[in-house]
Amino acid sequence: MTENTQSATIYDEVLEVLDKLRPFLQRDGGDVELVDVEDGIVKLKLMGACGSCPSSTITLKAGIERALVEEVEGITEVVQVF
């Protein structure tokens, strides 16, 4: 598997996990956008209510990051981009 194919696979796997989590975010008026995956780091943009919520860091780290690290091999961290 080439590096580009592997990167595309990881990107697709991250999207699958985010699609599972998205209904929970949308229920609270928010959403998430995948910006990039690079060297095991997922870059996300929190949108809607999630973008300004004081609990967004907890959502990002305890919820989204935990799920991605557990379900997608090679993911080590999730960071928020603005």
Residue 47 resides in a domain: yes
Model confidence pLDDT, tens digit, residues 27-70: 999 999 999 999 999 999 999 998 888 889 999 999 999 999 99
Q: Is residue 70 part of a domain?
A: yes
Total Cβ atoms within 10 A of residue 51: 14
pLDDT band at 78; cut points 50, 70, 90 = very high
Establish if 65 belongs to a structural domain.
Answer: yes
Q: How many distinct structural domains can be found in the chain?
A: 1
What's the whole-model pTM score? 0.89
Residues pairing with 15 in the sheet? none
Residue 13 lies in a domain: no
Q: Determine the structural domain holding residue 57 and report its residue range.
A: 29-80
Residues contacting 3, CB < 8 A, separation 6+: none
Q: Is residue 19 part of a domain?
A: no
8 A C-beta contact, residue 47 and residue 30? yes
> What CATH number should be reported for the domain holding residue 36?
3.30.300.130
